[in-house]
């Protein structure tokens, strides 16, 4: 999805959420990315087992943009592939998040209406294995590293731009 300027996600009042299951190998991707962002002074809200489990915390932050990082299955994906999908493009790429008990389109509608969000983006990392276990595949681990570095670069760039204004 080259149509989204990745750094533009981090220009407004945004909240990054990392979600997944800590007990299912690559399904930990969003949680691990969140831990890495936190270690690098980038705030990220960890929501184990689904965004719906953090509604109270999201309410407190009142973001304009919500950015969800999770393991995700999508059309033509290979282990470690990363996709950035806006809410409008989710059905186009047949995006399925791993940990949601509520269908993703319904969840997005609910969140947009509840918090008056302007935009919701999903950053999906294609898993190699979602079996029970604590080990994350090399492909997904490498993708998490790349993703965290890109997010850090974008946020640094946006902070520099704000200082100039």
Residue 71 near residue 27, CB atoms below 8 Å: yes
CATH of span 12-164: 3.40.50.1450
Tokens (6 digits) for 101: 């008990």
Closest CA to 31 of 75, 68, 85: 68
Instruction: Give residue 163's pLDDT.
Output: 67
Residue-wise pLDDT for 145-163, tens only, equals 999 999 999 998 877 766 6
Instruction: Give residue 59's pLDDT.
Output: 87
d(CA 60, CA 13): 13
> How many CA atoms does the CB half-sphere of 97 hold within 13 Å?
33
d(CA 141, CA 91): 26
Residue-wise pLDDT for 53-84, tens only, equals 898 899 899 899 999 999 999 989 999 999 99
Where is 155: in which H helix or E strand?
Answer: helix 138-164
């Amino acid at each position: 999805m080259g149509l989204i300027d990745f750094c533009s996600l981090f220009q407004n009042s945004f909240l990054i959420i990392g979600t997944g299951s800590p007990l299912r190998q690559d399904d930990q991707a969003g949680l691990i990315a969140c831990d890495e962002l936190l270690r690098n002074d980038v705030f990220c809200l960890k929501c184990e087992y689904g965004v719906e489990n953090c509604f109270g915390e999201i309410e407190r932050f009142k973001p304009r943009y919500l950015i969800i990082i999770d393991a995700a299955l999508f059309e033509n994906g290979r282990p470690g592939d990363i996709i950035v999908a806006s809410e409008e493009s989710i059905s186009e790429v047949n995006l399925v998040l791993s940990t949601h008990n509520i269908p993703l389109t319904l969840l997005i509608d609910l969140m947009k209406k509840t918090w008056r969000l302007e935009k919701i983006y999903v950053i999906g990392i294609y898993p190699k294995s979602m079996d029970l276990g604590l080990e994350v595949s090399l492909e997904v681990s490498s993708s998490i590293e790349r993703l965290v570095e890109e997010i850090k670069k974008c946020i640094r760039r946006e902070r520099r731009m704000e200082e100039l204004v």
